[in-house]
């Protein structure tokens, strides 16, 4: 073997060994952390929806648990019941209650890590003595929440709809691409910079039913909260996580005009906000109900009011935060979230419900 071939072989061998060592360290790290904190699930509760990306299966029972596999310590264990109409409830055999109240949102409204009687909706129900239907679904955007409400509007016939916006609903509704998205598995708002307008994108049915949807709904992957509860662990750790890491690295080092970060800077959020507010306001007008939009943390709707959208009342960030801080000043900050998870626990949910109900009474909805 000549010197050049020998050198090439040595470099190649070192490269292979380095790659193997990288993956060994990577999987050891993931495996060890998984033992320290494992998020276990019962039956998967999501199913593909052609109009909304995914919804919840009806009349189902499951659980979610956070546990240390080494010590056996259980950090949280929540029982989950999806009623006969596809909403989280006290029992799976229940039906939704019409002529009542509805709360919309994502995993914080749904109540990840807590039981149904520890959710924001439950505590509002206790304080108001009005039935509150929980239409929160983990990972939802505000356009998905709107479509979900619109689809069930005749079933629910709500008097009041509460939208709990903690930042995620608005952010997830935006799709970032230079050209019109054609393979999106979920509905979203695309900013058409050339024509200075917001375009509502519908889910692509072919994508939903193809292998591309592995990142979203088809295989029940628990990736960035897409599809509530459940994932294929082998696909997640051996495919989804590595591919996502490589994608993030590529986007970080190779910025161009199509990069998300640049597209986000040019996205016109004002027009997007007006679009979603108009949709909710028109739906409320057509179906004779009122909306309370709780802008809990991001000041997304700071510049909007009831004069512009006559069926929507706003609990704005500054007012919400002021009320919240006054109520938690004597509460142990470690006792406000689900352990090892970060979602709101029952203590925090009850405080939030108090703030929301106070606003409802102040505005004399009923």
Instruction: Using pLDDT thresholds of 50, 70 and 90, give the confidence band for residue 182.
Output: confident
Give the model's pLDDT for residue 329.
92
Q: Same domain, yes or no, for 32 and 102? A: no
Could you give the CA distance from residue 126 to residue 31 in angstroms, rounded to a whole number?
42
Give the model's pLDDT for residue 244.
65
In a domain, 205, yes or no: yes
User: What's the mean pLDDT in 242-255?
Assistant: 64
Give the model's pLDDT for residue 235.
60
What DSSP character marks residue 62?
A: E
Percent of the chain residues topping a pLDDT of 70: 82
**In the numeric block, which tokens belong to residue 359?**
């606003």
pLDDT tens for residues 171-180?
Answer: 999 988 888 8
User: What's the mean pLDDT in 209-238?
Assistant: 47
Q: Count of domains in the chain?
A: 2
User: What's the mean pLDDT in 84-108?
Assistant: 96
In a domain, 21, yes or no: yes
User: What's the mean pLDDT in 213-229?
Assistant: 39
Q: Same domain, yes or no, for 165 and 206? A: yes
Instruction: Using pLDDT thresholds of 50, 70 and 90, give the confidence band for residue 31.
Output: low
Give the model's pLDDT for residue 222.
32
Instruction: Using pLDDT thresholds of 50, 70 and 90, give the confidence band for residue 131.
Output: very high
In a domain, 44, yes or no: no
Q: Same domain, yes or no, for 219 and 267? A: yes
Count Cβ atoms below 10 Å from residue 141 Cβ, excluding itself: 24
Could you give the CA distance from residue 357 to residue 366 in angstroms, rounded to a whole number?
12
Residue 338's domain is classified under what CATH number? 3.40.50.1110
Q: Same domain, yes or no, for 184 and 153? A: yes
Q: Same domain, yes or no, for 55 and 26? A: no
In a domain, 307, yes or no: yes
Q: Same domain, yes or no, for 110 and 191? A: yes
pLDDT at 183 over 90: no
Q: Same domain, yes or no, for 1 and 83? A: no
Give the model's pLDDT for residue 219.
36
In a domain, 68, yes or no: no
User: What's the mean pLDDT in 158-177?
Assistant: 93
Give the model's pLDDT for residue 331.
92
Percent of the chain residues topping a pLDDT of 90: 58
Give the model's pLDDT for residue 39.
82
Q: Same domain, yes or no, for 27 and 56? A: no
Q: What is the mean pLDDT of the chain?
A: 85
pLDDT tens for residues 44-77?
Answer: 888 888 898 889 999 999 999 999 988 989 999 9
Q: Same domain, yes or no, for 8 and 130? A: no
Tell the burial category of 262 from Cβ atoms under 10 Å away from its Cβ (0-12, 13-18, 19+): middle
Could you give the CA distance from residue 304 to residue 334 in angstroms, rounded to a whole number?
34
In a domain, 342, yes or no: yes
In a domain, 177, yes or no: yes
Which range marks the domain in which residue 6 is found? 1-36
Give the model's pLDDT for residue 63.
92
User: What's the mean pLDDT in 322-337?
Assistant: 93
Q: Same domain, yes or no, for 266 and 340? A: yes
Are 228 and 45 a contacting pair, CB within 8 Å? yes
Contacts of 190 (CB under 8 A, 6+ apart): 174, 175, 177, 180, 181, 198, 199, 200, 201
Q: Same domain, yes or no, for 158 and 272? A: yes
Give the model's pLDDT for residue 162.
98
Strand locations in the chain, DSSP E? 38-41, 46-49, 53-56, 60-67, 74-82, 88-89, 101-104, 132-134, 160-165, 174-175, 188-192, 197-201, 290-295, 312-315
> For residue 224, is it left (φ>0), alpha (ψ between -120 and 50) or beta?
left
Q: Same domain, yes or no, for 21 and 170? A: no
In a domain, 348, yes or no: yes
């Amino acid at each position: 073997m000549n010197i050049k071939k020998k050198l090439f072989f040595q470099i190649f061998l070192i490269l292979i060994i380095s790659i193997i060592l990288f993956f060994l360290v990577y999987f050891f790290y993931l495996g060890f952390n998984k033992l320290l904190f494992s998020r276990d699930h019962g039956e998967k509760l999501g199913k593909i929806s052609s109009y909304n990306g995914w919804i919840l299966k009806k009349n189902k029972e499951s659980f979610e648990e956070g546990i240390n596999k080494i010590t056996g310590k259980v950090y949280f264990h929540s029982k989950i019941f999806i009623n006969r109409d596809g909403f989280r409830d006290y029992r799976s055999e229940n039906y939704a209650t019409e002529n009542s109240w509805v709360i919309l949102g994502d995993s914080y409204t749904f109540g990840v890590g807590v039981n149904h009687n520890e959710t924001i909706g439950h505590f509002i129900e206790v304080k108001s003595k009005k039935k509150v239907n929980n239409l929160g679904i983990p990972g939802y955007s505000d356009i998905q929440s709107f479509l979900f409400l619109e689809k069930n509007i005749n079933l629910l016939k709500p008097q009041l709809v509460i939208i709990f916006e903690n930042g995620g609903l608005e952010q997830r509704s935006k799709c970032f691409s230079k050209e019109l998205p054609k393979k999106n598995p979920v509905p979203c708002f695309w900013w058409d910079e050339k024509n200075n307008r917001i375009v509502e994108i519908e889910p692509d049915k072919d994508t939903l039913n193809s292998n591309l949807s592995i990142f979203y709904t088809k295989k029940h992957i628990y990736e960035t909260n897409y599809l509530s509860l459940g994932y294929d662990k082998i696909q997640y750790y051996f495919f989804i996580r590595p591919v996502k890491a490589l994608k993030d690295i590529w986007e970080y080092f190779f910025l161009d005009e199509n990069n998300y970060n640049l597209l986000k800077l040019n996205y016109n959020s004002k027009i997007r906000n007006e679009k979603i507010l108009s949709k909710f306001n028109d739906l409320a007008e057509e179906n004779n109900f009122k909306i309370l939009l709780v802008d809990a943390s991001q000041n997304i709707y700071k510049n909007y009011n009831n004069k512009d959208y006559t069926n929507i009342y706003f609990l704005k960030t500054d007012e919400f935060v002021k009320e919240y801080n006054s109520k938690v000043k004597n509460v142990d900050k470690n006792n406000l979230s689900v352990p090892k998870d970060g979602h709101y626990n029952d203590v925090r949910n009850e405080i939030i419900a108090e703030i929301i109900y106070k606003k409802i009474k102040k505005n004399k909805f009923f």
